[in-house]
Chain A
């Protein structure tokens, strides 16, 4: 008697692997050696006793009977009834076990059979290499390309995984929203370390305006716009082990191009989205949330009892800094442009909102800190608020300049800096997200804060993707509060 045993580890949860393998008639959909298969007599493919009738690519005809199936033990046992190759008394057992360390699957495939004398090596090779090992590789590919998430193809063996056509908001030339067009774009199949995403929502951020105007030269028109989006993975490259088709994902850094229905991009730039968070919330929160995360935890480490100053405290990043800063135990002072925005800032955790439409706030900051000033300024304003920010800082304070809504912040006079022993940082989000491990950790922090309701998204403005120009006009008018997203 011959015995053939082969085993492998598949980078997918056991439920997903078993869903494919428990179907006794699925093999012509994923195994390259099987060209056609049907269950005789119209029986269900999980009916113990059913017979599958199929051909191999080299013309061999085989009838196999399912003799045991266990959904609790993930075991399928079957035998050959007739075959045009001499595999005699062939009984095979396919057994899956969970790899709890990493949520993967161990797949054990074993059979015993007899052969005519002299043909042992040939038939062992055919079963072990041609069926089992080829099957491991084929099932991995099937899962990576989302074969188990697609309806069975009408034409067996129809090609898939090629280029797709999507739509994207394109920037024709730097300038106003009149420079945007909505065009068809080719979306290539993912390369070895890439994933392709069917997008459900894209976030609209002020950086998109800077890029459109040409102030941030991150693209060369014509080019697609948009920094962040969320959606579902369609297919993944051969070297991607942490995502599978069907996974909910988001991204917020990398090259612009998020205002699109489909996107192919490096898996390193993509983060998993927990099941409790929908795509629109993820698309609205990831970029601004990671900005708040790195400002509060990395550029500066906010400690309980510190006093922090947040500008545009009713805006997207501003409300997150208020909510999260308050949660960390800081006293939060915020500047806003109107009484209505002061109310919004207070609702989001701002202890002292200061209404200053002309960026004059230092006196009010001094007054509310008994003349001491604040420990940290998170400065997204830049040039026009330079003097006021300087005056607002306490001795040995930290000036974190991360944006320039009113123009670039000039270099600080060394004499002024030493007069207060100030620390000055000019951090850039993309430097923090460039390391994929740190990017995952930052995104996980943001999603955890959303799940705990420390961070709350006010999804007030939803536009269809094709109306991106109107969404950007709304953002630039500065008359709005709350997040803006494009739904797809």
Chain B
């Protein structure tokens, strides 16, 4: 089991950041690696159990299922159903916490998964940096630096 943990500080209130990212079908709106996304079966995108089906800009197709969504905790959890990345039992959590000192947001994005041996480092990097940190960088630049 591999664990990847990435965290950052976004220069906007947790309410504001959460409103920008809570839509499970909204990745193309804020994450630069995601080209387009749809929710299978016409489910609402905030219904636990819904499946998002999206393409990466480099062409890969991924299906992910929403497992938990909490507006109270600013947190969602999802799993990968199908992907070209070579990961099994992949569960990820995206969570925001208010930073009361300065009205900013502490953002955490973590994942646990299995992968064939030898691929651990490469996948941990591509997920931690390529997906999570890239997303945080996009949020930081969207909400502006201080």
Binding site for B on A (CB under 8 A): 5-9, 97-102, 104, 106, 108, 133, 136
Contacts and interface: CB of A to CB of B under 8 A. Distances in A.
Contact of A106 (B5, B99, B128, B136): B99
Size range of the chain B interface in the assembly: 10 to 19
Interface of B is mostly: strand
A101 B106 contact: no
B100 interface: yes
Contacts of B9: 9, 99, 101-102, 104, 106
B37 interface: no
A7 B133 contact: no
Nearest to A10: B101
B45 interface: no
Contacts of B108: 97
A200 B133 CA distance: 38
A381 B106 CA distance: 56
A8 B7 contact: no
Nearest to A101: B8
Contacts, number: 53
Nearest to B101: A8
A129 to B, nearest CB: 11
B8 to A, nearest CB: 4
Interface string B79-112: 0000000000000000001111110101010000
28 contacts: A5-B100, A7-B100, A7-B101, A8-B99, A9-B9, A9-B99, A9-B101, A9-B102, A9-B104, A97-B106, A97-B108, A98-B7, A99-B7, A99-B8, A99-B9, A100-B5, A100-B8, A100-B128, A100-B133, A101-B8, A101-B9, A101-B133, A102-B9, A106-B7, A106-B9, A106-B97, A108-B97, A133-B101
B61 interface: no
A100 B7 contact: yes
A9 B105 CA distance: 10
B6 interface: yes
Given A98-B5, A106-B9, 20 more contacts: A5-B100, A7-B99, A7-B101, A8-B99, A8-B100, A8-B101, A9-B9, A9-B104, A99-B7, A99-B8, A99-B9, A100-B128, A101-B6, A101-B8, A102-B8, A104-B9, A106-B97, A106-B106, A133-B100, A136-B101
